[in-house]
Amino acid sequence: MASLANYLDPEVIQQVGRLDLRARFIVEGFLAGLHSSPFQGFSVEFSEHRKYAHGDAPRTIDWKVFARSDRLFVRKYQAETHLACHLLVDASGSMGYVGYLGPAGSPRGGAAGIVGAWPQPAGKLIYAIHVAAALGYLVIKQQDAVGLGIIGERLETLLPARARRAHLVEVLAALSAVVPRGRTGLARGVEQALARIPHRGLVVFLSDLLTDTDALLEALHHIRFRGHDLIVMHVLDAAETQFPFTGHVRLEDPETGESLVADAGAVRERYLAAVAAWRAKLRDQIGALRADYVPLDTAQPFDKALVEFLLQRQRRR
């Protein structure tokens, strides 16, 4: 990655290099079993026939039509267009939550009440960053354009969509520098991002969606109203989806610091029912916007996340 010479900090170079390598590994393994791209990408589509005129290139003549009608017609095509994919990544404080095991797979300690070893490969933000990096690599690989927005309490970063390999390095560098902090401002961040995205394209939103649901849905509605295709990748920690706690546990909001103590066994059933109902509401409401909802948790391998993404893209075609 010679273009990394633009980043003078050796630590940044090392971080971006690792993320680039991981993105390649995820994508190359993912694409190995596929016969088509999950993106529409370059679109050169047949539009209509018109009568042949002097000066038209012979290669544009539709000889099958000539054989049937004994008249010369040429095929017209729509203009070739690129896919512009913007990745919007939630970097608020709640995305920093990590379950029993940290990102490196080592116990974080002090996690009394966990049943057995928790198969936790990564925290939510790290998981979202790797999925975003893989998607960025996938978009650039097929010569389309990728942009990146980082959203905390507001829009913190927006890199415009470009199709150059060097631009992917900038995207990976921005992802490598993300630190979860502050309260969630998803609705405001989305509005600010939309104001700076000039053309319609694909928006992939990666977040735990832990915010006011009605305000979030209104922001997502604005994405669709602007004509963008939309996929929402809902990333939760595996502990948040399965609640593997026993005994009395202290639950703390990472954004406000508010906490409460609960008997895990007494609240587990209601908690899991509430999470299921919440995700069902999101799926239905986002589906009503003619957008796609992809529920994920950090126990799922990255390639499974991309398969879910592919399935959603195929349904949108």
Answer yes or no: do 212 and 306 share one domain.
yes
Give the pLDDT score at 32: 47
Asked if the structure places residue 40 within a domain, the reply is: no
Answer yes or no: do 63 and 28 share one domain.
no
DSSP notation for 227-249: T-EEEEEEEE-HHHHH--B-SEE
Going by C-beta distance under 8 Å and a sequence separation of 6 or more, which residues neighbour residue 153? 92, 182, 183, 184, 185, 188, 189
Answer yes or no: do 289 and 224 share one domain.
yes
Give the pLDDT score at 121: 43
Give the pLDDT score at 13: 43
CA-to-CA distance for 95 and 180, rounded, in angstroms?
6
Asked if the structure places residue 39 within a domain, the reply is: no
Report residue 6 as tokens: 């633009």
pLDDT digits (tens, 9 = 90+) for 269-296: 999 999 999 999 999 999 999 998 999 9
- The pair phi, psi for residue 243, each rounded to 5°, is 50, 70
Answer yes or no: do 202 and 146 share one domain.
yes
Q: Each residue's pLDDT tens digit in the chain (317 positions)?
A: 434 444 334 444 455 455 565 556 555 554 444 434 444 443 444 456 777 777 677 777 888 888 888 888 777 654 444 688 999 999 999 998 887 544 433 334 333 333 333 344 458 998 899 889 888 888 888 788 999 999 999 999 999 999 888 898 899 889 988 989 899 899 999 999 999 998 888 999 999 999 999 999 999 999 999 999 999 999 999 889 999 888 998 888 878 888 889 898 999 999 999 999 999 999 999 999 999 899 998 888 777 777 777 666 666 65
Give the pLDDT score at 289: 94
Beta bridge mates, 207 = 234
Going by C-beta distance under 8 Å and a sequence separation of 6 or more, which residues neighbour residue 286? 217, 220, 230, 232, 292, 293
What range does the domain containing 111 cover? 2-34+81-316
Answer yes or no: do 276 and 143 share one domain.
yes
Give the pLDDT score at 138: 82
Give the pLDDT score at 17: 54
Answer yes or no: do 69 and 154 share one domain.
no
Work out how many domains the chain is built from and give that number: 2
CA-to-CA distance for 288 and 18, rounded, in angstroms?
39
Answer yes or no: do 54 and 73 share one domain.
yes
Instruction: Identify the CA nearest to 96 among candidates 119, 129, 132.
Output: 129
Contact criterion met (CB below 8 Å) for 50 and 74: yes
- Give me the residue label for tokens 């054989």: 67
Coil, helix or strand at residue 63: helix
DSSP 211: S
